Amino acid sequence: MRQPGRVLIWIALFLLAVAGVAALLHQRLIEAFLANPVFNGMIVAVLAVGIIINFRQVLVLGPDAAWLRAWQRGAESLPPPPKRGLLGSLGRMLQERGDKLQLTTMSMRALLDGIRSRLDEARDLSRYFIGLLIFLGLLGTFWGLLDTLGGIGRVISGLSVGGGDATELFEQLRAGLQEPLAGMGTAFSSSLFGLAGALVLGFVDLQAGHAQNRFYNDVEEQLTGLTRFSSGALANVDTEHSVPSYIQALLEQTAESLDRLQRLVARREEERRSAEESISTVTEQVGELAEQIRSEHRRMLSQARGQMELQPVLQRLADSLGERGEESDSMEERLRSLDHTLHRLVDEMQSERTDLAAELRDEIRLLTRTVARATGTDPGER
């Protein structure tokens, strides 16, 4: 019987190694954490809960494994069998039958299936936490991308290139790019903590699964020694002794019931295999999702490099605009002359509009008199 404490030692050593790496990179990790404290705090909390759950899954195996070792050695001071936990059914059977316990093939399979189902139920929660870590990292990534795109849109819409100083324009552009870069920090930090947490929790879950599989194999080996194997056919029964007909009918009915139970167990096994295939499919989809996240990271890195390459171009543009500052005086004179010309045109248009309005009033008076004469009404009466 192998002790689950070794698995706890491996998990503890791995967590110490992770803590050492985090201590070496604590400055950058703190900066990355503060880039998006809400999502990163949720990721760290989920990681801590997942590690605690995996530790509990391994620790739960300890009492059952200790009792199974004592029962295997046949110790005189054998503790009472566990009433709950993974070996609860076996403990109840030992209390009922004592040392005369002998299992059939179906009983052994039923006990092993019950233990396996409990182990699988315990691991489902850990797998859910791994997927939750990846989901939170992806959610933080998309949140940061939304902030980045919104910030870039606000920077572009806030640029004013008409009549402004080039240096002021450059400073405005540089200040506006700080918000999109902060959004990219949010996306990268969430992805970093999410994927790193999923990696750490995945290793811990793997070690917990190894401990559970070893415990299951040990239980199976112990139960095999208590199992009475038979062919299950009534034709091999010793016919030297006469058997009453009602007992023979009862045995035939029992054999049919066992056959139906065997088919039911086979169907359950098939359903379990289909569930495992579904889980493997989900795992592959999660892997594809992680690959998409990595490709998205590479794309965002290329965008960041493009923005960094844009800064020297903007600097050269600012220098070029500064060299052209000497031509601003002549341009101002031209703008003044153009302004005077526009004022003169506006005055002429206003005078023409006044003359046109006067002519329209005269035409309306003439039209009114004409209509009044045609209708026989004196215009003065109106």
Query: Which residue matches tokens 């194999």?
Result: 217
Q: So what's the pLDDT on residue 376? A: 60
Q: So what's the pLDDT on residue 239? A: 39
234 vs 320, higher pLDDT: 320
| pLDDT tens, residue by residue, 224-261 | 766 655 444 443 444 334 445 557 667 767 877 887 88
| pLDDT tens, residue by residue, 30-46 | 887 887 788 888 999 99
* 270-288 average pLDDT score: 87
> Is position 375 within any domain?
no
In this structure, which amino acid lies at residue 136?
Answer: L
Q: Which two tokens stand for residue 249?
A: 């009918």
Q: So what's the pLDDT on residue 145? A: 75
Residue spans of beta strands (DSSP E) within the chain: 103-104, 227-228
Using DSSP's 3-state secondary structure scheme, residue 243 falls into: coil
What crossing angle do the helices spanning 37-73 and 5-24 adopt, rounded to 10°? 160
Q: Give the DSSP letter string of 101-146.
A: --EEHHHHHHHHHHHHHHHHHHHHHHHHHHHHHHHHHHHHHHHHHH
Q: So what's the pLDDT on residue 168? A: 63
280 vs 355, higher pLDDT: 280
What crossing angle do the helices spanning 105-158 and 166-176 adopt, rounded to 10°? 170
Answer left, alpha or beta for residue 15, where phi above 0 means left and psi between -120 and 50 means alpha: alpha
Contacts of 183 (CB under 8 A, 6+ apart): 144, 145, 146, 147, 148, 149, 150, 151
Domain count across the chain: 1
| pLDDT tens, residue by residue, 36-91 | 788 888 999 999 999 999 888 888 887 777 777 776 666 555 566 566 666 666 66
CA distances from 151 to 56, 128, 159, 183 (A): 45, 34, 12, 8
Sign of the CA dihedral running 93, 98, 99, 100: negative
CA distances from 201 to 46, 140, 159, 215, 275 (A): 10, 19, 47, 21, 22
Nearest to 40 by CA among 159, 137, 149: 137
> Is position 335 within any domain?
no
> Is position 50 within any domain?
yes
Contacts of 136 (CB under 8 A, 6+ apart): 39, 42, 43, 46, 190, 194
In this structure, which amino acid lies at residue 86?
Answer: L
Tell me the pLDDT of the chain averaged across its residues. 75
Q: Which two tokens stand for residue 176?
A: 């506006």
Alpha carbon distance, N-terminus to C-terminus of the chain: 120
> Is position 297 within any domain?
no
| pLDDT tens, residue by residue, 87-124 | 666 666 665 555 555 666 677 777 778 778 878 887 88
Q: So what's the pLDDT on residue 170? A: 63
Answer left, alpha or beta for residue 380, where phi above 0 means left and psi between -120 and 50 means alpha: alpha
Q: Are 136 and 43 in contact (CB under 8 A)?
A: yes
Using DSSP's 3-state secondary structure scheme, residue 228 falls into: strand
Q: So what's the pLDDT on residue 323? A: 67
> Is position 357 within any domain?
no
In this prediction, residue 13 has a pLDDT band, given cuts at 50, 70 and 90, of: very high
Considering the entire predicted model, what is its pTM? Answer: 0.50
> Is position 15 within any domain?
yes
Q: Residue 228: phi, psi to the nearest 5?
A: -100, 110
Domain that residue 95 falls in: 4-72+84-233
| pLDDT tens, residue by residue, 326-355 | 566 666 777 777 778 778 777 877 777 777
Q: Which two tokens stand for residue 112?
A: 């092993």
> Is position 204 within any domain?
yes
**CA-to-CA distance for 376 and 370, rounded, in angstroms?**
10
Q: Are 325 and 169 in contact (CB under 8 A)?
A: no
| pLDDT tens, residue by residue, 166-184 | 666 666 666 666 666 666 7
Q: What percentage of the chain exceeds 70 in pLDDT?
A: 68
Core vs surface per residue 33-50: b (16+ CB within 10 A) or e = bebbeebbebbeebbeeb
> Is position 127 within any domain?
yes
